[in-house]
Amino acid sequence: MTLTAEQSRERAQHRYNASLELCPARQLLEAISSKWVTLVMLALEESPQRHSELRRRIPGVSQKMLTSTLRTLERDGLIDREVTASVPVRTDYELTALGRSLLPVIFGMKEWAEDNMDTVATSRQHHDRTHAGVAPKQ
Amino acid sequence: MTLTAEQSRERAQHRYNASLELCPARQLLEAISSKWVTLVMLALEESPQRHSELRRRIPGVSQKMLTSTLRTLERDGLIDREVTASVPVRTDYELTALGRSLLPVIFGMKEWAEDNMDTVATSRQHHDRTHAGVAPKQ
DNA sequence: CTGTATCCTCTAAGATACTG
DNA sequence: CAGTATCTTAGAGGATACAG
């Protein structure tokens, strides 16, 4: 039998999910879109920092999320972790060369955002006002 | 009374959540990190497309997610939506000037990703192998 | 100080069904 | 063709307590 459009779409979905996850750009997006990664990257821009320093420099981050973010960045090879076995323990984090190579990309986004997010905000307000009745979303 | 470090951290959290959400870069990140936005933006790069064309061009997207993504992009002023009231209805989407101005940023990410995500992947594998016992995560 | 281990909540996103 | 309306689920992220 032949497939309906809906059926072939389903197959496409499964085929595509795999390739989507393999797409480098998608992977990067997922890697950096976690809530704290860019903040940590930027906090490490100038010099290595200790866990406690990072916590102070990034207000609002819980130590769970900070640790988890740092672990992920370390796993991705974007930062290095150095533990000094003193009492109490001291841990320093610093950007790797790979991590530093990502900074320009982050700055590129930052720049576009700073130049254009007010336009986006205006557009949102206008859209919400003119489409008041339908699908307010939030 | 004076605040404990933990308490002042809590206050910082609330103070900061507001400013975090106002941060332009964060907003942009949230806007484009939705699963389908970059795919839609890239699909519209060369020419306007109809809803059904986009669905074909982006395998695996459900019509719900496509519609929702398109609505968000429209609200943000990144794409325009033009409805032709024929039977059946015809709808075309195209990038706005603002939307096109974002493309270089997306390409910048894409380029870094293509150049470096294999290094990241290798780092992940190495990390997972050497840290087999502890926190395999996934 | 630098973490783990739980528990809990909230939302993005998928599945499915229906409409002008 | 181009949507809207529900229901459900997986995972991110927060709160809290404990440990080397």
- Pairwise CB contact (< 8 Å): A16 & B116: no
pLDDT of residue B99: 98
Is A65 among the domain residues?
A: yes
Is A124 among the domain residues?
A: yes
Is B62 among the domain residues?
A: yes
CA A106-B22-B104 angle, to 5 degrees, is 35
Find which of A8, A64, A109 to mutate to test the B interface (most B CBs within 10 Å of its CB): A109
pTM beyond 0.85: yes
Range of the domain at A105: 10-130
Is A113 among the domain residues?
A: yes
- Pairwise CB contact (< 8 Å): B28 & A59: no
Q: State the nearest Cα–Cα gap between A28 and chain B, in angstroms.
A: 6
- Pairwise CB contact (< 8 Å): B15 & A74: no
Is A1 among the domain residues?
A: no
Tokens of A103: 């900074």
CATH (domain of A105):
1.10.10.10
**Which residue is associated with the tokens 């496509």?**
B66
Beta-bridge partner residues of B94? B80
Number of domains in chain A: 1
The Cα B112–Cα A27 span in angstroms is 11
Q: State the nearest Cα–Cα gap between B46 and chain A, in angstroms.
A: 19
Q: Which residues numbered 88-107 in B keep a CB inside 8 Å of some CB on A?
A: 98, 101-102, 104-106
Tens place of pLDDT for every residue, chain A, 138 residues? Answer: 455 666 666 666 666 666 666 789 889 999 999 999 999 999 999 999 999 999 999 988 999 999 999 999 999 999 999 999 999 999 999 999 999 999 999 999 999 999 999 999 999 999 998 886 554 433
Is B122 among the domain residues?
A: yes
Is A135 among the domain residues?
A: no
Is A70 among the domain residues?
A: yes
In the structure, how far is the CA atom of residue B100 from the C1' atom of nucleotide D5, in angstroms?
33
Q: Over the stretch B63-77, which tens digit does the pLDDT of each residue have?
A: 999 999 999 999 999
